[in-house]
Structure 1
């Protein structure tokens, strides 16, 4: 059972009765909650945290956040006009930003997004990219189990779906992504930046399917409808699986519990440092808030 947490509340990664405890006192990482910020700030803060973790000025960090306005994030190498319908983005008042990580476009709406920033040489992080991805995604699996979704699991490489030409991230689950009954229920991307691992991902409670498929670019309506039908077969969300509403705070608590169990660490809630907040604001002005970055491709 998980408990709700908020931006000012603490959660130290308690274990359920009967779970084995690690030998000795578990190491601590920082927990930061930054809700309802705009998309440029969120991506700028991820990069700012990478810099401060790299130089040892802040410890490894789990950040949980929500978006305002609801937003699209582009993969690092996506071409904007091949991924999103810019007229629909403007008409629906949706934010748009380019991530520092790869992958396809994600619609951040009714969800919690997580980011983990940790040195690559941390003993809890395997060396290989896919091994590290698998290890961190085990935290998502544990979080879903804490919510009662016991059938959540990692997609095996053998069952991973081939990439389609669609811009929609959730349309095809890749190796070691979280699935329920073969359907993708969370999407994550990873970047290695100067000896620091950044993994961030979207954990949706539910989808606004009508808005999503209006926002993504398709060459014609037939292609849009085909992608929509594939999405219905290959993607799911927490509330659809549980058959009931779930509070954002309950999902946050489950994510903290899940990563604590998977990594064997304890989280200590802390605010942003003035230095990383200032660096994030500078990165908004100089990079993530500028069209030269968003429309670089």
Structure 2
């Protein structure tokens, strides 16, 4: 097979929301070149699979307490940590490109095999398991996820160079995931921990990157060509990234698709965002988020589903919620003020 030229983007640090916006912009593009991106999240953040139920997987109170956000991706899988010490990659290519097998299983094996070979080159006993997980001596060090949309294959994944496993465990829902959380120490590892075991020095993102680059070039039989983003591509990436910054997408992608109410209210430093879907003057879905007591507003949202969209029905529910939680006000915002904001939002139906 003839060697193909693929585009290579070395982005280094990037906001996860912007990275996903760029992936979508490239995948939707008609003027497209197969692209591999090396990147790392600019700050600690959680990445969630498309079908993940936030409230079941995460300890939302801890996430908000630590100021760690979560971003939903368009690919499947569960939840995982990302930060500047975790090597990450994205691959976007046409579904019909001869380099990537048509079979999902075979495509995972080829692409994730590049990570396996890179780890072997630095002296670690890596192997592929469960379709897309890379293991070192039976412990997970890398995971990947894939989606086939807009005629393209999007695959992205990570390799833990270092990992703050204790913090990650604290961000998970212990009540529902206790056994899985307690077993993470036995199931997960990271590159520099394993290198230390065999007497080798730790590797940085920049030091590990060439090993992965060489593995991609060799295993996929391609050449990389450095080619910066065009002004148009940056513009489209910014446009598509907006979704990944939105609370309704990250909490409930189904609500994001159907919402006919989106409203923001700011008073002083207090910000309240409301997304909802109204049908026949009834609240079918609603999400209330805020930059103060976010867990309380999220809980309140759950109590307002399938309630008539009128003040007579909504006010008693809000009042009862405040009473049951021993609250008179939230950050100097009274019950009456919150009811008014909710009604103003619902009356703004698109």
Q: TM-score range by the shorter chain?
A: 0.7 to 0.9
1:208 alignment partner in structure 2: 164
Gap regions ≥5 residues in structure 2: 254-350
- Please say if 1:132 is aligned against 2:88: no
TM-score (norm 1): 0.79
Select the residue among 85, 93, 97 that pairs with 2:59.
Answer: 85
What's the CA shift for 1:176?
A: 4.7
What's the CA shift for 1:284?
A: 2.1
- Please say if 1:119 is aligned against 2:72: no
Q: Whole-Å Cα distance in 2 between the matches of residues 216 and 254 of structure 1?
A: 32
Q: Whole-Å Cα distance in 2 between the matches of residues 178 and 295 of structure 1?
A: 28
Q: Whole-Å Cα distance in 2 between the matches of residues 292 and 115 of structure 1?
A: 24
CA gap of 1:215–1:275, structure 2 versus 1, over 3 A, is: same
CA offset digits 1:178-221 (Å, max 9, x no partner): 1121221100000001221011001110210111011112217x
TM-score (norm 2): 0.67
CA offset digits 1:232-260 (Å, max 9, x no partner): 22222111111132111012211111111
Q: Whole-Å Cα distance in 2 between the matches of residues 152 and 268 of structure 1?
A: 28
1:96 alignment partner in structure 2: 70
- Please say if 1:143 is aligned against 2:118: yes
- Please say if 1:249 is aligned against 2:226: no
1:45 alignment partner in structure 2: 22
Q: Whole-Å Cα distance in 1 between the matches of residues 13 and 64 of structure 2?
A: 19
What's the CA shift for 1:46?
A: 1.2
Task: Give yes or no for contact 2:88–2:158 (8 Å, CA) kept in 1.
Answer: yes
CA gap of 1:175–1:28, structure 2 versus 1, over 3 A, is: same
Task: Give yes or no for contact 1:98–1:293 (8 Å, CA) kept in 2.
Answer: yes
Q: Whole-Å Cα distance in 2 between the matches of residues 45 and 89 of structure 1?
A: 26
Task: Give yes or no for contact 1:38–1:95 (8 Å, CA) kept in 2.
Answer: no
Select the residue among 219, 225, 228 that pairs with 2:175.
Answer: 219
Q: Whole-Å Cα distance in 1 between the matches of residues 80 and 132 of structure 2?
A: 18
Question: What SS does structure 1 have at the residue aligned with 2:159?
Answer: strand
Where in structure 1 do 4 or more consecutive aligned residues deviate above 6 Å? none
Gap regions ≥5 residues in structure 1: 1-22, 156-173
Aligned length: 248
Q: Which one has more relative contact order, counting CA pairs under 8 Å at least 6 apart? A: 1
Question: What SS does structure 1 have at the residue aligned with 2:232?
Answer: helix
- Which is strand-richer, 1 or 2? 2
Select the residue among 194, 198, 219 that pairs with 2:150.
Answer: 194
- Please say if 1:232 is aligned against 2:185: yes
Structure number with bigger Rg: 2
CA offset digits 1:76-135 (Å, max 9, x no partner): 011111111222222222232100100000100220110000111111111111111111
CA offset digits 1:254-283 (Å, max 9, x no partner): 111111111011111222222221111111
The CA RMSD over aligned residues, in Å, is: 1.7
Q: Whole-Å Cα distance in 2 between the matches of residues 48 and 254 of structure 1?
A: 28
Q: Whole-Å Cα distance in 2 between the matches of residues 176 and 31 of structure 1?
A: 22
CA gap of 1:36–1:139, structure 2 versus 1, over 3 A, is: same
Question: What SS does structure 1 have at the residue aligned with 2:87?
Answer: strand
2:36 alignment partner in structure 1: 62
Q: Whole-Å Cα distance in 1 between the matches of residues 210 and 251 of structure 2?
A: 36
Question: What SS does structure 1 have at the residue aligned with 2:163?
Answer: coil
Question: What SS does structure 2 have at the residue aligned with 1:58?
Answer: coil
Q: Whole-Å Cα distance in 2 between the matches of residues 176 and 210 of structure 1?
A: 24
Q: Whole-Å Cα distance in 2 between the matches of residues 289 and 94 of structure 1?
A: 13
Q: Whole-Å Cα distance in 2 between the matches of residues 77 and 228 of structure 1?
A: 20
